[in-house]
Amino acid sequence: MSLPEESKNHLASAVVRVLVCIVLSLLFAVGVPGNTFVIWTICRQMKQRPRTVVLILNLAIADILVLVTLPIWIYSFAKAWLFGVTACKALAFVVHCNMYASIFLITALSLERFMAVFRPLAVQRRTNKMSTHLVMLLIWLLSIAFGAAILPFQETEETESGLQCTSRSYAGNSQMLACLLLETLVGFLVPFAIIAICYICIAKRISNMTGSPKLRSTRLVTAVVVSFALCWLPYHIFNLIFIASVVMKGSDAEASEALEEIASKGTFIAGSIAFLSSCINPLLYAFAARNFQSSMRFTKLSKLFQQMSPETKQEATNELSAVKGKEETLMSTETI
């Protein structure tokens, strides 16, 4: 005897919620200790903290701020949202602030790698504590400003599993379009266009720099960028599906409704996947630090972060001369 369609949907929804709770629990168990360890290593083991290291520190802080909210989300998905509309808005703000802070910090890391490869001497001259603090302040102010855009619209919603903090209430379609476009453009597409340009240029420049510290550190930053992109891409894809459903309402109401249904269900799962980006970076650092000769894990990690920092002025001059020499050799070969 087959189950009624409504019972099947309810069962499928329950299975999805259980899986989401299990995944989020694992992310909390891995991410909080991992990011705490990164913060502790940088704050306690590194007296000198160049801008690259400060960016990594702030990225870990942004990640841990969102990870500590996971127990509330897990309880909500398992049972129901019991914490009111104000808490719903506050936690949604924390998650979106993390999204913007992470992408802005990763963009800054990519620009830092670009400068370290193309203008190493300029990095040495212009990087100081004041400029670093100003960059961090600007990143966090922008993140808070863009993250706060969610506050007027985030609401609780009655679902088949009870009250949930998964809904947004817009005054109209134009308002929805503006908010979703802002979120996807500023929180994903524009920063990744900048990042892509940086890495295309870097790849051309360091292709012959085998074994260079810049090459190794650039690979690590690239891994951080790619992992963030993979974790947040599904969320922004469903944002674009929402946008398509709004645009198609006037011309094809049936297709618009189908797209909206797909986006509504998909955003729930994609939002859970996005939390993965907050716990994966410590694993990448640990993997990259495995080759350092040391019996203590925090020493390996501090050595990794030191390697990622800009070299001394003399080292920068030597590497720049080496790169220019290789470029001149290649140009001479092409001329022949």
Domain containing 264 equals 30-331
Give 227-231's long-range contacts (Cβ < 8 A, gap of 24+). Answer: 227/277, 227/280, 227/281, 227/284, 228/102, 228/103, 228/106, 228/277, 229/192, 231/273, 231/274, 231/275, 231/276, 231/277, 231/280
* CATH code of the domain containing 72: 1.20.1070.10
Residue 9 falls within a domain, yes or no?
Answer: no
Residue 11 falls within a domain, yes or no?
Answer: no
List the Cα angle 32/36/41 in 5-degree steps: 155
Residue 110 falls within a domain, yes or no?
Answer: yes
Would you write out the chain's pLDDT as a tens digit for each of its 336 residues? 455 555 556 666 777 788 888 989 999 999 999 999 999 988 887 777 788 889 999 999 999 999 999 999 999 988 889 999 999 999 999 999 999 999 999 999 888 888 877 776 666 666 677 888 899 999 999 999 999 999 999 998 887 777 888 888 888 888 888 999 999 999 999 999 999 898 888 877 766 555 555 566 777 888 888 898 899 999 999 999 989 998 888 788 888 888 888 888 788 788 888 889 889 988 888 877 766 555 455 566 777 777 666 554 444 444 445 445 544 554 454 444
What tokens were used for 298?
């925090």
Residue 90 falls within a domain, yes or no?
Answer: yes
Report the distance separating Cα 333 and Cα 2, nearest Å. Answer: 74
What phi and psi, each to the nearest 5 degrees, are found at residue 155? Answer: -140, 165
Q: How much is the pTM?
A: 0.83
Report the distance separating Cα 74 and Cα 20, nearest Å. Answer: 8
Residue 15 falls within a domain, yes or no?
Answer: no
Residue 45 falls within a domain, yes or no?
Answer: yes
Residue 81 falls within a domain, yes or no?
Answer: yes
Residue 16 falls within a domain, yes or no?
Answer: no
Q: How far is CA 110 from CA 3, 51, 226, 254, in A?
A: 53, 12, 12, 43
Question: How many domains does one find in the chain?
Answer: 1
